[in-house]
Chain A
Amino acid sequence: MVVNNVSGDVSGAAVEMRDAFGATLVELGRQYPQMITLDADLHTSSKATMFKRAYPDRFVQVGIAEQNLFGISAGLALSGFMPFPSTFAVFATRRALDQIAISICFPNLNVKIPGSYVGLPTSRAGASHNCIEDIAVMRALPNMRVADPADGADLRAIMRAAAAVQGPVYFRIARMAMPPIFGADHTFEWGKGVLLREGRDVTLFGTGIMTTFCLKAADLLASDGVSAEVVHLGSIKPIDRELIAASAARTGCAVTAENATINGGFGAAVLEVLGEECPVPLQRIGVRDRWVDSGGIKELFTHHGMQPEDIAVAAKIAMQDKRRRKQ
């Protein structure tokens, strides 16, 4: 089923993901009086500053102290509040992993964790700031939900869905302007993917900003006579096992694409489902067990083999594997 509010067209005016983040924080702040946004000296970068301006009394600055950021959030959640501790993804999931795991996830506290500046596009900051292992790490934590939005509307829907459930959520925000895939009425459901484009020959499973790259790859493949199905899986944990297995069964081979390391991340999550439910040839696009150095955004995506052209090549390799196995 193709959702009717999806155009699959990525030619619209791009929206900065972090602007959508800031605007949605403000929207949720209006809806949830118990919501508190916390920051560790990065609010003008993450755009949490928009919440600070709207609700200065519900904004807590903790300085450059991420372990404390998540501990304080746990204490607020234990007192009935819904904290959004906001910082760069690297500082959340690397520096404060123990606090997230034991102070927040273990007691299943109602803390919503935005990870800003994920993956490759981080304004030339280099390996220390390019967060590539957060999907793998966060999805390994019991109780944690994990999501990676494709565009501004998807991010807004994910944040609404995060606030609507009880328990910890980790969601990613790339520092990138993304063309709209989804309409303003887009909704998000935990554990549900979206079939963006139907196809016969190969499935492209995308998450986060890579879903747009998958749509572009499908266009490239179409010009070569290949019919590619495109599935967006914004909800990485829980993941839509049914949709993954059904699509792979139809097309017989697949490619995953993520703005992160392929080790233990999104591609691995899809691979787990396919291995258990419907083993088909699979190629994974993402960072291949290496650090992401400084560089221009386009340059980095090319360097790491993560451009739409790379996805198209991977699709053809997967299709070759499929043919070879049939012989």
Chain B
Amino acid sequence: MHLLPEKLCELDEMAYQIRRLSLEMITYGKWGHIGGAFSMAEFLSVLYFQVMSVKPDKPQWDDRDRLVLSKAHGSPALYAVLALRGFYPIEQVYSYCELGGFEGHTDMARTPGLESSGGPLGMGLSVAVGMALAMRFKENARGRVFCILGDGESNEGNVWEAAMSAAHYHLDNLIAIVDYNKVMAKGFVWDEMAIEPFADKWRAFGWDVIEVDGHDIPALVDAFHRARWVMPRGKPIVVIAHTVKGKGVEMAEFNYKWHTHAPDAATADAMLRELARNYQRPELGYSKFGAEEVKEEFYGGE
């Protein structure tokens, strides 16, 4: 898949901004999941800035591609990419976890561009199957439904009910993406409930499988191109994106203790500066110093 250097730069910048905004809103909102937001940054950037057909000025455009975030606790990353894509002003993401603002988990009534509401794991792939069936009913051959799942999430039985039905209905307009970051809320996937042999499970359920380094932007561009245009042959497609939980900030990387954890302002500032250095960007710290102090403290632990 041909990728211009300027496009690669843009996708890389968007991945940086997704991480940066996610960390800002989790700190300012005093709650959230840094690890699972960071691991999605590259593929969300590629999806919204290269792959998906959406119109930010017409979010309800009927022929749009759809994305269901089944691992809805990753919401900050999705709120960030939707803002960057122009669905709403960037400042609006700071309403995250505020009463009346963007919900902790996804609430489509609150956030333009969201295609579903969620929170409990295991449920999103079924919703995506319904959307893919709907595209068939409407004879929309070009449209695609994307569904982002967590690796730990695939412990849930509902995921496999949905997987079985997608294959039964030959939904090759459905592309699942598994954020395989190897880390769950309280431990490692292999230790909490092993999912391997993972790719074989999807194949056994009648899916085509692409495995990819989930932080390698050209590889992701290629994977989604293949999933969308080259591979459809009556089978749904899963892109298993091998990622690092918390990728971009050393303290949070591959560390379940940062699954649900809001840093204090000083820690967030240090993390944001580290992130900027890693991306070779101007060292930009936390933008809301002091502002978050007036908020009610309701969650302090992991």
Complex partner residue of B130 from A63, A76, A106, A108, CB under 8 angstroms: A76
Are the CB atoms of A78 and B157 closer together than 8 Å? no
Complex partner residue of A76 from B66, B124, B133, B162, CB under 8 angstroms: B133
Are the CB atoms of A67 and B158 closer together than 8 Å? yes
Chain A residues with CB under 8 Å of B137's CB are 36, 58, 79, 81
Q: How far is the CB of B137 from chain A (nearest CB, A)?
A: 7
Q: A63-B164, A75-B127 are in contact. Are A107 and B120 (CB under 8 A)?
A: no
Are the CB atoms of B117 and A102 closer together than 8 Å? yes
Q: How many cross-chain pairs have Cβ atoms below 8 Å apart between A and B?
A: 104
Q: Which residues A27-66 have CB closer than 8 A to chain B?
A: 36, 58, 60, 62-63, 65
Are the CB atoms of A99 and B116 closer together than 8 Å? no
Are the CB atoms of A67 and B157 closer together than 8 Å? yes
Complex partner residue of B158 from A36, A60, A77, A99, CB under 8 angstroms: A99
Q: How far is the CB of A199 from chain B (nearest CB, A)?
A: 46
Q: Which residues A69-85 have CB closer than 8 A to chain B?
A: 70-81, 83
Q: How far is the CB of B53 from chain A (nearest CB, A)?
A: 15
Q: Considering the chains assembled together, what is the distance between the CA atoms of A126 and B159 in angstroms?
A: 30
Are the CB atoms of B119 and A75 closer together than 8 Å? no
- Of the four ranges (under 10, 10 to 19, 20 to 34, 35 or more), the interface on chain B belongs to 35 or more
Q: A62-B165, A72-B165, A107-B117 are in contact. Are A99 and B123 (CB under 8 A)?
A: yes
Q: Does B176 interact with chain A (Cβ within 8 Å)? A: no
Q: Considering the chains assembled together, what is the distance between the CA atoms of A102 and B123 in angstroms?
A: 9
Q: Which residues B100-139 have CB closer than 8 A to chain A?
A: 107-109, 115-120, 122-135, 137-138
Q: Does B161 interact with chain A (Cβ within 8 Å)? A: yes
Q: Considering the chains assembled together, what is the distance between the CA atoms of A98 and B68 in angstroms?
A: 17
Are the CB atoms of B134 and A80 closer together than 8 Å? yes
Q: Considering the chains assembled together, what is the distance between the CA atoms of A78 and B138 in angstroms?
A: 13
Q: How far is the CB of B279 from chain A (nearest CB, A)?
A: 36
Q: Considering the chains assembled together, what is the distance between the CA atoms of A32 and B196 in angstroms?
A: 45
Q: A74-B126, A79-B130 are in contact. Are A68 and B165 (CB under 8 A)?
A: yes
Given contacts A63-B165, A72-B129, A73-B130, 5 further A-B contacts (CB under 8 A): A62-B161, A65-B165, A67-B123, A102-B123, A103-B118
